[in-house]
Amino acid sequence: MATAQDVLDHVRQVGTWVNWEQTVDRVIVGAPDVEVTNAAVAWISSREALAEAARLGCELFVTHEPTFYTHAHELDHLDEWPGAEEKRAWIERQGIAVLRCHDTWDNMPEVGIQWAWAEFLGLEGEPVESRPYLNVYAVPETTLEDLARRVAERTSAIGEPAVQVAGDPTMKITCVGVGTGCGCSPRAYREMGAQAGIVCDDGTAYWRDVQWALDEGFGIVRVNHATSEEPGVAAMARYLAGQFPDVKFHHIPQGARYRLVRPG
């Protein structure tokens, strides 16, 4: 029977691009030798998602983002976050091991975060330009407004019915940049030949990246961080299920981490 450590060992085996002395990919909470028959996979180990994993009888929770609100060395910062110690104690009482899979999955070829996101958006073919965490795709000529509408049509299925747009809505787009979660750089996309980039809120600041894009005539379509990585997390659940057929992997969808509220 597979253990949490077996899953981590597999991640270490395939993640040859990861610095395993510094990575955040490790068992964060719980016993690495716990035997696993049911596992949950989610974008972030929120209390809600962890409770659902407990309800499903999961012994393992694979999360892409942190459990305790700090990207690295999470357990060293528990005292900075009210409730974090209690959250860890609750997880331990459930008998759940929490495994972080971030650095590996961000760069996992073909099925990792940026690749799954591009496929979800309907961007076809190989990138015309590629850098770590960044790809640029050729698209049939369109406008920034129409590109944003097509993105919103896709993201509405995972909880984000509208996207943010910055730039001239009529500008012509033939190449678009797509990144890995926070790894979005409008300046790099421009250097790579794109006229617009699909970016996430956690990775682009309005006063810096978006303002530069507006000043330079570069188009921005902006979505929630979780939205941009949800397709990749679903792909991770499918991948792990294929590697560990004796374990039932439950993808816990989360999607956009906010709701839009209209007056009235």
Distance of alpha carbon 104 from the chain centroid: 12
Pairing outcome for strands 219-223 and 196-200: parallel
**What average pLDDT does the chain have?**
97
User: What pairs with residue 173 in β-bridges?
Assistant: 142
3-state secondary structure of 110: coil
Share of the chain above pLDDT 90, in %: 97
**pLDDT score, position 109:** 92
Pairing outcome for strands 172-179 and 134-143: antiparallel
Per-residue pLDDT band at 91 (split at 50, 70, 90): very high
Q: CB 117: neighbour CB atoms within 10 A? A: 26
Task: In whole angstroms, give the CA distance from residue 61 to residue 36.
Answer: 10
Task: In whole angstroms, give the CA distance from residue 46 to residue 43.
Answer: 9
Per-residue pLDDT band at 177 (split at 50, 70, 90): very high
User: Could you give the angle at the alpha carbon of 256 between the alpha carbons of 252 and 257, nearest 5°?
Assistant: 90
* CATH of 4-106 among 3.30.1330.10, 3.40.190.10, 3.40.640.10, 3.40.1390.30: 3.40.1390.30
**Max intra-chain CA distance, the chain:** 57
Q: Work out the average pLDDT over 168-185.
A: 95
Residue in the block written with tokens 């978006």 = 210
**pLDDT score, position 10:** 98
Tokens standing for residue 183: 């790894």
Kindly state the DSSP code that residue 61 receives in the 8-state scheme.
Answer: E
**pLDDT score, position 146:** 98
Nearest to 199 by CA among 218, 171, 173: 218
Q: Work out the average pLDDT over 114-127.
A: 96
User: What pairs with residue 242 in β-bridges?
Assistant: none
Q: Work out the average pLDDT over 7-28.
A: 97
* CATH of 115-225 among 3.50.50.60, 3.40.109.10, 3.40.1390.30, 3.30.420.40: 3.40.1390.30
Q: In this structure, is the dihedral angle defined by the CA atoms of residues 215, 216, 220 and 226, taken in order, positive or negative?
A: negative
Structural domain boundaries of the chain?
Answer: 4-106, 115-225
Exposure string of 16-39, with b = 16+ CB inside 10 Å and e = fewer, is eebeeeebbbbbbbbebebebeeb
**pLDDT score, position 112:** 96
Q: Work out the average pLDDT over 54-72.
A: 98
Nearest to 192 by CA among 214, 172, 174, 211: 174
* Per-residue model confidence as pLDDT tens digits over 203-229: 999 999 999 999 999 999 999 999 999
Domains 4-106 and 115-225 fall in the same CATH topology: yes
Task: In whole angstroms, give the CA distance from residue 168 to residue 144.
Answer: 7
3-state secondary structure of 217: coil
Tokens standing for residue 15: 């993640």
**pLDDT score, position 187:** 97
